[in-house]
Amino acid sequence: MKLAGQKVAVILTEDGKQVLALASIGLPDSHSISVSVEESEDLGIWIRIPREDQMHFFLLRWEYILGIDLPSGTGRLIGMRA
Amino acid sequence: MDIRVDGYRSTNEDWLTAHRIPFDELPPITDEEKQVAKKLGISAEEYLRSRYAGDLSRKELERRAEVVGALLERWLIQRGLSGTVVGVWLKTLEGRFRVEIERPDGIQIVFLKEDLINDLLDSGSREAQEGLDRLLAANFGFSEAAQAS
């Protein structure tokens, strides 16, 4: 599964929630957090964080992730050409 | 040729652009989208910024899908094969293009890895060009190509 560039909902462990709080990343009240993935790798997923006028990348390690939910997308048909 | 791109993948440049644009300049959210945002557990603003980023990146992905279709049509002509590309579908989560070719004996489906196409288009890689040629040759029944791979 190619997660790079996708918006996904991540279900975190309690430790994972603490890690994000330490990194000053706001957590919603729901059980999952929605993040944009820059890249996934053996260590975890690099997520995009907006900070002031910059984008930061934050490594969310796999051990803090219980599950990932993402829509498969139905796509959109464009450009019918003869 | 039908072009279809699944998903809302965005580049980090487009994502940043979408996070810099003033909220009131974003396209308005529909009631249906509000429901989707609620289900995803994100705010309307976050949903709109994600959608905007995805829309910006989608144009480039659709362009690439069109290029893939043109590449295949050219390859068919060069090989003296009859066939028309009728659809290119980029499945972003799978990282591959699904190409439908209408041939005299029916529709033929060919899958191409997105990485292969990116290597070809972004770096002009000779290896990618040869890989694409081998892959297509094998799919269209050129036995020497199948043996080479």
pLDDT in tens, B56-77: 999 999 999 999 999 999 999 9
Mutation site, A2, A12, A70, A72, interface B, largest B CB count within 10 A = A2
The whole-model pTM stands at 0.80
Considering only CB atoms, which chain A residues are within 8 Å of B18? none
Do residue B6 and residue A74 have CB atoms under 8 angstroms apart? Answer: yes
Instruction: Please identify among residues 2-21 of chain A the ones whose CB lies closer than 8 Å to any CB of chain B.
Output: 2, 4-7, 9
Q: Rounded to a whole number, what is the distance in Å from the CA of A1 to chain B's nearest CA?
A: 6
- CB neighbours (10 Å) of residue A10? 21
Interatomic CA distance for residues A13 and A21, integer angstroms: 12
Domain count across chain B: 1
> ipTM greater than 0.95, yes or no?
no
Interatomic CA distance for residues B5 and B36, integer angstroms: 20
* Residue B142, pLDDT score: 76
Considering only CB atoms, which chain B residues are within 8 Å of A32? 41
The domain in which residue B15 lies consists of 2-148
Q: Rounded to a whole number, what is the distance in Å from the CA of A38 to chain B's nearest CA?
A: 7
pLDDT in tens, B77-123: 999 999 999 999 999 999 999 999 999 999 999 999 999 999 999 99
**Does A74 lie at the interface with B, CB-CB under 8 angstroms?**
yes
Nearest-10 crossing angle of helices B114-123, B44-78: 80
Question: DSSP of A25-61, one letter per residue?
Answer: ----SSSEEEEEEEEE-SSEEEEEEEETTEEEEEEEE
The dihedral built from the CA positions of residue B53, B91, A2 and A70, taken in this order, carries a sign that is positive
Of A70, A71, A72, A60, the residue nearest A27 (C-alpha): A60
Select the residue of B1, B5, B7 nearest A6 (Cβ to Cβ).
Answer: B7
Considering only CB atoms, which chain B residues are within 8 Å of A74? 6
- CB neighbours (10 Å) of residue A29? 5
* Residue B33, pLDDT score: 86
Interatomic CA distance for residues B57 and A71, integer angstroms: 17
Q: What are the phi and psi torsion angles at B57 (to 5°)? A: -75, -30
